[in-house]
A and B are shown apart, each in its own frame.
Chain A
Amino acid sequence: MMAKKVWRMAFAAILLFAPFLGLAQGPVFHDIRPGYGVTDCIWLSDYLPALRGTPGDTRVYILDSGVPGGTALVLGGTHGNEIAGIMAAVILVERARPLKGRLIVIPHANNANIDYPDPRYPQQPSLITLQGPDGLERQFRCGARLTNPRYQGPDPEKYINPSGASFPGYEARNLNRCYPGHPDGTLTEQIAYAIIQLIIKENVGIVIDLHEAGVSSRLASTLVSHPRGLEIAAAAVIELETMGIDMKLEQSREEFRGLSHREIGDHTQALSFLLETPNPGQEGGDPVNDPAHPLHARVGIHLECIHALLSAAAQFGVPSVVLDKVPTLEELSESGLAAWLNW
C-alpha cells in the first residue's frame, strides 16, 4: 500500500517537473484561463501536423466577434524570457472582447523555449508568481530566448536560415531568425513555418510580435515595422506619444532575413510589426518589480501599442479589429497585473 503511494507521488512529481528535466517531449501546458471573448482554442500543429505532440506545439486562441472585419494575430513568447509580451498576450486571452473582426493570440509562440532556464540570465526566475484575491496565487513560466537544446539537434557551427541568411550556430534555436520557416526543418523552423501557414490560411491582416530588450539597449521602447506598414506605425507612434508613451519607430530592412517583421511582411499578405519594451531582467535586474520598469507597466505599454496599431490600421483602410475590455496602461498602473487576470 505504502509502496503504491510512493509510486503515485513519484509519478506526479515526474509529471510536474518533467518539463524542467527535459523529459517531456510534448508541449508544455500553461495556466491560461480563457475569458468570454475566446470562441475557439486550437493548436499551432493544426497548420503543420508534424508539430503535433512535440514541444513546439502551442495553444492558439481565437477571439471572433462574429462581426465582419479584419483579423489580427498577436504573438507572445517568441523569446520566453521576454515576459511582458507573454503576459500581455495572456491578458488578451483572459480579458479581451472583440467587437469587430477577429483576434488570434498565441501567448507562447515558441513553446519549446519556456522550460529552458536562460543561461545568459541566471538570476531570472523560471516562474513568476502573482498574488490574487483571497490569498490565491497564479504562476507563469519564464523561459529562454532560444529553444531548449534538448528539443533540437546540436547547433550548427553557422546557421543558414530558410532565407539564406547566415547567423552564429545558436541562432538556429531563435524563432525570430527562422522565418519563414520550413515544414521539414528543425523544430524552431517548423514553428516558424506553422505560424506563416496560420497567417496565410486565416487571412491575417496584421501581425504584432511582442518582445522586450535590455533597458539600455538601443532597441528598448521601439516599434519596428515592415515597410508596407510604416505609415500605420508612424500614426500609431504619434498617437502613443499623446498618451505619454514614447516609442521609437524603425523600419525593417531587407537585410533582416529571418525576423518576423521582415519575413511575415514579405511572405504573407499581413502587415508585420514588432514591439520592444525595456526589461530590466535582461540586464541583471528584477524583471517583475523594478520600480522604473515594472512588469505591469510594460504589459500596459504592449497593450496600448496593440490598440494604437489596430486603430491606425483601420484609419488607413485595413479591415478593422476592435477590442473591448482590454486594460489601459493607466488601469494596469492603478491596480496591477493580477487584477486583470481571471481568478
Chain B
Amino acid sequence: MRKRSIIGVVMGLLVFGVLLWAEEGTLVRSLSSRFEEGLPEAWEIQEGTWTVEGGVLTGVNGFLISSLSFPTDRRIEARVEFPSGAERAIIVGKYASEQWVKAFLAPNGRTAVVLYAAGEERSWTAEVGPLAEGWHELVLGFAGSRAVFFVDGKKAIEAESPAIGRLAGKAGLGAEGQVLFDDVCVTSFPQPAIITSLGQSPGALMAKILAKKAGLEFRYDPRLKSDALEGTGTLLIVLGASSKGLGAAGIDVEDEITRGHALLNKARELGIPVIMMHIEGSSRRGKMSDRLIKEFIPLADYVVVKADGNADGLFTELTLSHDLPLRIVEKTSQVAGVLKDLFGLWE
C-alpha cells in the first residue's frame, strides 16, 4: 500500500513536471535577435503592437515574450531608444505564470526592478539621471538570488531575494508608450568554462589571463579535443591563426577546422553554449585567420571582437546575417569585464 502511494506521488510529480515543461516551453541557453529579417518566430506578441522595420523592433504598450525558456541564471541584453512619447522600456527577465521579474527604464533615468511572486510585489528603484538621446544598452542579469540591472554599462540596481533564484521560465520585452529595441539576446553561460584556441595564436593565452582576472572558473587547453568536453559549462573559443603557433603544434589550418567542427558538434550534442572571440585586433587578421572566422563565427552563440579586428565589418556582417549577438571591445583588456558580465560575475 505504502509502495503504491510512493509510486503515485512520483507519477504525479512527473505529470506535473511535464505540464510545467510544456507551459514554460523548450529550455535553451541562448536566443539572439538582431531583427534584420522581421520578427523571429521565437517571440510571441502577448499584448500591444510589435513591428519590425529597418532592422529595428518597435513596441507599443505591450509585451513580447519568448516562446523558449531559459535556465534560472541568465542575462538579457537589449539596446533601446526612446522616441518622443515613450514612457518606459521594460526588460522581462523572468516570466512564468503569475510570477515575473521585470526591469524598467524611463527616459528621465528612473529605473526599477520589480519582482512579482506568490501574489506579492516587491520593487527596487534608482535614478541614473536623464538619458541622452540615442540608443542605450540595457542588461538585466540573474545569478542565484541576485538580479542586477545595468544601464549603459553602469550598475543601476542590484536586487536580492530568494524568490528571484527560484524563478525561471521565459524572457521578454515590454513597452509603455512607443519604445524601439534592437540587438536583443538572452544568454545563460554556466561555469566552468573551457578556453581553447582555433588557429593557435597567443589570443587564447590572453583570454586565459583575462579569464583569471575576471574570476572565472575555467580550464585552458589550446588543443582541446571533443572527448574532453564532458563536464564543461561553456566552451570559449579564441579564433586567430598563427603560423608560428600552428607550426609549434605541428598542425595546419585544415587540422584546426576539423578539430573545430568536432568540438562544436560535441558541444551541441551536450547542450554546451559557445562563445567565440577574436581579441588580438587587426594584426590577427589575414588569410588563415579569416578562413577560421568565416567557418566558425556562424556557429557561435555569442561573439566578442576587438574593434580594430572588425575594421572591415566582417564580424558585423557575419553576426548580422546569422542573427548572432556581437560585443565589440576597444581594448583586449576589456574582455575581462565582458567575461564577468557574460558569466554573471558582477561586483
Contact = CB atoms under 8 A, between A and B. Distances in A.
Interface string A220-257: 01000001001101110111011000101111111100
B248 A251 contact: yes
Contact of A238 (B242, B248, B284, B332): B332
A231 B247 contact: no
Interface in B308-347: 331-333
B247 A254 contact: yes
Contacts of A249: 202, 206, 280
A188 to B, nearest CB: 25
A278 B242 CA distance: 21
Interface residues of A, number: 21
A238 B333 contact: yes
A252 B209 contact: no
Interface string B226-248: 00000000000000001011011
A254 B246 CA distance: 11
Contacts of A233: 202
B210 interface: yes
Interface in B106-145: none
A231 B208 CA distance: 9
Contacts of A246: 281, 283
A62 to B, nearest CB: 32
A234 B208 CA distance: 9
Given A241-B331, A241-B332, A234 B244 contact: no
B209 A250 contact: no
Interface in B174-216: 202, 205-206, 208-210
A255 B206 contact: no
A234 B279 CA distance: 12
Contacts of A242: 331, 333
Given A231-B205, A255-B247, A248 B332 contact: no
Contacts of A227: 248
Given A237-B206, A242-B333, A253 B248 contact: yes
Interface of A: 221, 227, 230-231, 233-235, 237-239, 241-242, 246, 248-255
Given A234-B208, A251-B202, 14 more contacts: A221-B283, A231-B205, A233-B202, A234-B202, A238-B333, A239-B333, A241-B331, A241-B332, A242-B333, A246-B281, A246-B283, A248-B280, A249-B206, A255-B247
